[in-house]
Amino acid sequence: MVFLRRRSLLLKTLLAVPVIWFFVAVLYSTSDKARGRGPLEPAAAPPPEAAAIRQEQHHAPGAPEPPEVELQPPVVVENQPDAPGFPEPEQENEISKKEEEDAGAMGVLPLPNGNNKYGEMGKPVVLPSNMSTGMKKLVDEGWQKNAFNQYVSDLISVRRSLPDPRDEWCKKEGRYQSSLPSTSVIICFHNEAWSVLLRTVHSVLDRSPAHMIHEVLLVDDFSDMDHLKTRLENYFTKYPKVKIIRAKKREGLIRARLLGAARATGKVLTYLDSHCECTTGWLEPLLDRIARNSTTVVCPVIDVIDDTTLEYHYRDSGGVNVGGFDWNLQFNWHSVPERERKRHENSAEPVWSPTMAGGLFSIDREFFERLGTYDNGFDIWGGENLELSFKTWMCGGTLEIVPCSHVGHIFRKRSPYKWRSGVNVLKKNSIRLAEVWLDDYSKYYYQRIGNDLVRIF
């Protein structure tokens, strides 16, 4: 009898096991279907290259290293205007989330989802070393076309946040006049990357008092990339202050700037390159100096935007430099001379500068015309910054670097643009500069180039 009871218990156990297994399988299958997967299908893993993208915390020099922040990979969302989390406008110029998604869709990469924090507060975006073949191809194409990391730029919002690099001295209430002139901002471009160009324009609109922006003139120097045609015009239809001017042939930077100046109607002209980012409070210090004296030509401090990671680098006013030149007529930077430092009570006060870098500056429109604007005999690019610097000082003006104004700039290690071969444009422009403005000092330049002159007129 004991044997029979044990055999009955064993049979019941054997029958119960498959029944229990069946119910567990049914429950598992139902749960997975509710989550959108098959009964035995594993959850999709993020691409390894996306998961490896990271950002480093921006920190002050000498401060302890902050912990590394690992971000989740961007999830592409297309045509979803309600995706949350896009950066909000810093002032009254508004843009919808849908518009920003459209902007990202026209670059190398579609815009990441609403949780995107890449590059915020000027932090670097570092791509992984073990990129997939497809990702590496896109990165290489971006470098080839632009001479900076377009792939990283397209990951970053066209309205990303930046740190405020100003000294406290600059922020004091009443520091600037209450009534300042408005300015025409002139941005010349040729085949510029979509995300970088839009980021430049939005930084101007978002970080400037609206009444001080008379207009933003985008001067297209005969670009042939599709995204800079109808798409660009459509994008800026909602921004009446933004106007696009098209050159009918390739003009080069100098004549493109003259084209913008001829169309500008603001009291002040402000020139920016097409791969810049303006910071909070950048405009008022420049306009204030011109309002006090219309013959003052002013330049912001030019901060460095890293060409690889797009990290925003800046220093306080103690690290400000002024422009100079050598006898090859090449622009260079110098520390502020001691005699100039003694003129000021605070390092954030504007300082005299012999020359300007040339890409970013503001000038009274009437004074610019009185100086003769740019020499239209200069070709393409090079030497125009020294020419404008020399005649500013020699014709009754003053040239200043304004430490309270900060604008970031992507410095490229090469030019991605092609021009006709066989012509040394920089040398041709420099000889013209020496002949017109250096008088007897021109001999020092000619000695440097072995008196190898070219036809200039």
| 108-133 residue pLDDT tens | 455 444 456 899 999 999 999 999 99
pLDDT digits (tens, 9 = 90+) for 213-226: 999 999 999 999 99
C-alpha torsion angle, residues 329, 335, 336, 338 (rounded to 10): -110
- pLDDT confidence band for 455 (50 / 70 / 90): low
Q: Looking at this protein, which amino acid is placed at residue 117?
A: K
Which pLDDT score, from 0 to 100, does residue 87 have? 33
Q: Mean pLDDT throughout 146-160?
A: 96
pLDDT at 377 over 50: yes
Which pLDDT score, from 0 to 100, does residue 33 have? 39
Which pLDDT score, from 0 to 100, does residue 4 have? 45
Q: Looking at this protein, which amino acid is placed at residue 163?
A: P
Instruction: Write out the two tokens for 144.
Output: 């080839």
Q: Which among 70, 47, 164 has a CA at the least distance from the CA of 117? A: 70
Beta carbons within 8 Å of 273's beta carbon, 6+ residues apart = 187, 188, 200, 359, 360, 409
Q: What is the pTM of this model?
A: 0.76
The H or E element spanning position 345 is none
Instruction: Give the N- to C-terminal CA distance of the chain in Å, as an integer.
Output: 124
C-alpha torsion angle, residues 244, 248, 249, 254 (rounded to 10): -50
pLDDT at 424 over 60: yes
Which pLDDT score, from 0 to 100, does residue 422 have? 63
pLDDT digits (tens, 9 = 90+) for 3-43: 444 455 555 555 555 555 555 454 444 444 333 333 323 32
- pLDDT confidence band for 378 (50 / 70 / 90): confident
Least reliable range by pLDDT among 50-54, 168-172, 311-315, 395-399: 50-54
Q: pLDDT: is 96 or 406 the higher one?
A: 406
Residue pair 103/158 in contact by the 8 Å Cβ criterion: yes
Which pLDDT score, from 0 to 100, does residue 428 have? 85
Instruction: Write out the two tokens for 8.
Output: 């009955």
Length of the chain: 457
Please give the Cα distance from 292 to 176 (Å, whole number).
10
Instruction: Give the strand order in the sheet containing 125-126.
Output: 69-70, 54-55, 125-126
Please give the Cα distance from 275 to 133 (Å, whole number).
28
Q: Mean pLDDT throughout 319-336?
A: 94
Residue pair 434/442 in contact by the 8 Å Cβ criterion: yes
The H or E element spanning position 18 is helix 2-34
Q: Looking at this protein, which amino acid is placed at residue 411?
A: F
Beta carbons within 8 Å of 270's beta carbon, 6+ residues apart = 183, 184, 185, 186, 283, 286, 361, 362
Domains of the chain from N-terminus onward = 179-410 (3.90.550.10), 423-457 (no CATH)
Q: Mean pLDDT throughout 251-275?
A: 95
- pLDDT confidence band for 414 (50 / 70 / 90): confident
Which pLDDT score, from 0 to 100, does residue 382 have? 81
Please give the Cα distance from 254 to 61 (Å, whole number).
38
Q: pLDDT: is 201 or 412 the higher one?
A: 201
Residue pair 180/284 in contact by the 8 Å Cβ criterion: yes
pLDDT at 53 over 80: no
Instruction: Write out the two tokens for 85.
Output: 């989390």
Cα–Cα distance list, 11 to 14, 18, 21, 23 (Å): 5, 12, 16, 19
Please give the Cα distance from 448 to 454 (Å, whole number).
14
Give the single-character DSSP code of 326: -
Please give the Cα distance from 390 to 358 (Å, whole number).
12
Please give the Cα distance from 205 to 99 (Å, whole number).
16
- pLDDT confidence band for 88 (50 / 70 / 90): very low
Q: Which among 285, 359, 351 has a CA at the least distance from the CA of 317? A: 351
Q: What is the mean pLDDT of the chain?
A: 80
Cα–Cα distance list, 110 to 50, 113, 134 (Å): 14, 9, 15
Which pLDDT score, from 0 to 100, does residue 81 have? 29
Please give the Cα distance from 103 to 157 (Å, whole number).
9
Residue pair 254/222 in contact by the 8 Å Cβ criterion: no
CB atoms within 10 A of CB 170: 22
pLDDT digits (tens, 9 = 90+) for 336-374: 999 999 999 999 999 999 999 989 999 999 999 999 999
Which pLDDT score, from 0 to 100, does residue 23 have? 54
